[in-house]
Structure 1
Amino acid sequence: MAHVSPEVALAISRQKARYARYADTKQWDKFDKEIGLPTAQYVYCGTDGQPVALGTKKCVFESPGACAAWFGNFFSYLETLHNIGLGDFEQIAPDQVKAVFGFEDQLFSKHLGSWAGLRGGGFYYETWKLVDGEWYIQDLRMERTYQQATFLFKVGLIGASLLGLI
């Protein structure tokens, strides 16, 4: 395993912090353009290792833009917080790094607060690519190790799906 320099670890960690902040502050244009390569694939999995299905959508996205568009709509009804842990990095090529980040997230209804919420955590498994001096996500796979959702959150997902909101 080839370790990365502190500068590379810091640059990728900064980008990962922006990934979470842009999602939580609903800056979807920046999430789309500044974090991942245009061809980056994003896959979000549940505790069973399978892509999460929210409504009729499996959370597999072929680009940051597709991911930002879908989650931009989904998160518009929610207050969110994503906490990202320190990364574990492995240099696999001069311009590529594998990274694993632990995370915890919280999603709560804007109107019902903790009555309709989801809390969880797990790990992001990612490949980062250096392009023109900047690091970008090349591929991302989130795997939850735990998740707790309130009954009202689950009912809200069903209702939003039936209404075509997600």
Structure 2
Amino acid sequence: MTVPFEISQKIHQKKAQYGRYIDTKQWDEFDQIALPDAELIFLDTNGSVLTVGKTALTFSTPKQFTTFFRRFFANAQTLHMFGPGDLQQTGSDEVKAIWSMEDQIIMKYSGGLAEVRGGGFYYETWKLKDGEWFLKSLRLERTYTKFSLLVRILALLQACLPFTLF
């Protein structure tokens, strides 16, 4: 079913806030975007759950998501860009959305040598609650990832060490 303009605009605005809040480190604002029990999962190009060190990037609440990324992105400069979004209303209180995306992560103090770039598609469900639209679920399926040489070296070291570097 076609999504009415007002609903589409509100969900587009919230998706823009999602990217801006990550990139500007406004972690406490996520309660304005996602339901408290929203699930967020991030998949690699082969369909497996992405990991950072020994942490699987699958979160059963936005609080878990923000707790992890607040720490992980503390010394990173990031940029998340989204395509226009393909929205379909599946019920009076539910919208499914697919967004193309590209992201870039540059670790501070690395002189630009530690960088990750990638892209893919977000598959999301948005739910109407108390007159506002909120993220109910998010699944990022990456279609490509490019690691700088330094990031590749650090990942190899991490695999050989009995403790976590990152």
TM over 0.5: yes
- Per the TM alignment, residue 101 of structure 1 is displaced from its structure 2 partner at its CA by 0.5
Higher relative strand content: 1
Question: Residue 53 of structure 1 corresponds to which residue in structure 2?
Answer: 51
Question: Residue 99 of structure 1 corresponds to which residue in structure 2?
Answer: 97
Which structure 2 residue ranges, 5 or more long, are not aligned?
none
Structure 1 vs Structure 2 CA RMSD: 1.6
- Per the TM alignment, residue 6 of structure 1 is displaced from its structure 2 partner at its CA by 1.1
Q: Is the 8 A contact 1:129 1:137 kept in 2?
A: yes
Output aligned runs, 1:12-161, within 5 Å: 12-31=11-30, 33-157=31-155
Q: Is the 8 A contact 1:119 1:148 kept in 2?
A: yes
Report the AA paired with residue 137 of structure 2. Answer: D
Which structure 1 residue ranges, 5 or more long, are not aligned?
none
CA distance in 1, matches of 2:117, 2:29: 25
Report the AA paired with residue 55 of structure 2. Answer: K
What's the TM-score, normalizing by structure 2? 0.93
Mapped pair 1:6 → 2:2:
no
The percentage of aligned residue pairs carrying the same residue is 42
Question: Which deviations, in whole Å up to 9, do the C-alpha atoms of 1:72-109 show, x marking residues without a partner?
Answer: 11001211000011110111110000000010000001
- Per the TM alignment, residue 149 of structure 1 is displaced from its structure 2 partner at its CA by 0.4
Report the AA paired with residue 3 of structure 1. Answer: T
Question: Which deviations, in whole Å up to 9, do the C-alpha atoms of 1:14-73 show, x marking residues without a partner?
Answer: 000000000000011112x11110010000011011110110001000000000000111
CA distance in 2, matches of 1:111, 1:159: 19
CA distance in 1, matches of 2:139, 2:91: 20
